[in-house]
């Protein structure tokens, strides 16, 4: 396949809705080919239909990123179909059932960790093995972008396992940055309160939550999925080639560290 100048092949997990769908739309609009991944085929098909007008190649890979066999196959199939894999965005994530951490079941804990941490590790693992072989790509062989959360920096009550999983994702990002340098970069973003399915697309629910835990954004508004896509576009682009191991807040000023 012949790529347009500056066009990249980008895998986005959890791209059937929310932040993942918004990222796919922004990046396809910029001329990138998109590999959509999620567990619900109908949602991925909806996303693909939204990308049709951008005249880019779009692949759908239905499956669970916590399944090693699936992830290995997904990465292999992508490279076989598109020849190169430039960027992976580990966006798939769940918050789980809200409640005190001591009341969360072991099964619920494992489910959250499997999707939020194990899934990102597996995708990064198999993608990096492929990227290392892409020596003809200059100056970098590939990029890994992880979607963590401000909950990974400032633990949030009643979503404790989610906070732990996102903190682990921050650590994973920096380990990857150290181990994969100098030809593969790894960076993470930490969104705050955004109108997404995790918050039932309800800004009033978000405001109620931030008031209850006294963690309000300085900019005094709820974020949108589109607020995140400009940062993702920058991290995908060559303008960010000298960045790795960075953990970037995009939260309206909730967490200042």
CA distance 212 to 3: 49
Question: If we measure between CA atoms, which residue out of 184, 247, 226 comes closest to residue 20?
Answer: 226
CA distance 59 to 144: 19
- CA 161, 173, 72: angle at the middle one, nearest 5? 90
Active site residue 166: yes
Active site residue 193: no
- CA 98, 101, 105: angle at the middle one, nearest 5? 80
Q: Which of 8, 143, 162, 193 is catalytic?
A: 162
Q: Which of 48, 143, 166, 199 is catalytic?
A: 166
Largest CA distance in the chain: 53
Spatial contact of 117 and 165, defined as CB atoms under 8 Å apart: yes
Give me the active site residues, please. Answer: 162, 166
């Amino acid at each position: 396949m012949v790529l347009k100048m500056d066009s990249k092949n980008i895998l986005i997990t959890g791209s059937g809705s929310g932040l993942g769908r918004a990222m796919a739309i922004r990046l396809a609009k910029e001329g990138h080919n998109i590999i959509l991944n999620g567990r619900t085929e109908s949602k991925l098909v909806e996303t693909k239909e939204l990308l049709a007008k951008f005249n880019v190649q779009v692949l759908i890979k239905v499956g669970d990123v916590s399944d090693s066999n699936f992830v290995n196959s997904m990465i292999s199939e992508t490279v076989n179909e598109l020849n190169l894999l430039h960027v992976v965005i580990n966006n798939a994530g769940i918050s789980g059932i809200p409640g005190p951490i001591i009341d969360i079941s072991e099964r619920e804990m494992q489910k959250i960790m499997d999707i939020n941490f194990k899934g990102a590790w597996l995708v990064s693992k198999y993608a990096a093995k492929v990227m290392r072989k892409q020596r003809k790509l200059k100056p970098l062989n590939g990029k890994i972008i992880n979607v963590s959360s401000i909950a990974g920096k400032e633990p949030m009550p009643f979503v404790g396992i989610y906070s732990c999983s996102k903190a682990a994702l921050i650590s994973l990002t920096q380990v990857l940055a150290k181990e994969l340098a100098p030809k593969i970069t790894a960076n993470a973003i930490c969104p705050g309160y955004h109108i997404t399915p995790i918050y039932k697309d309800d800004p009033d629910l978000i405001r109620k939550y931030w008031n209850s835990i006294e963690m309000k954004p300085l900019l005094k508004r709820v974020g949108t999925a589109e607020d995140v896509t400009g940062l993702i576009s920058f991290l995908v682009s060559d303008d960010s080639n000298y960045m790795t191991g960075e953990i970037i807040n995009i939260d309206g000023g909730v967490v200042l560290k």
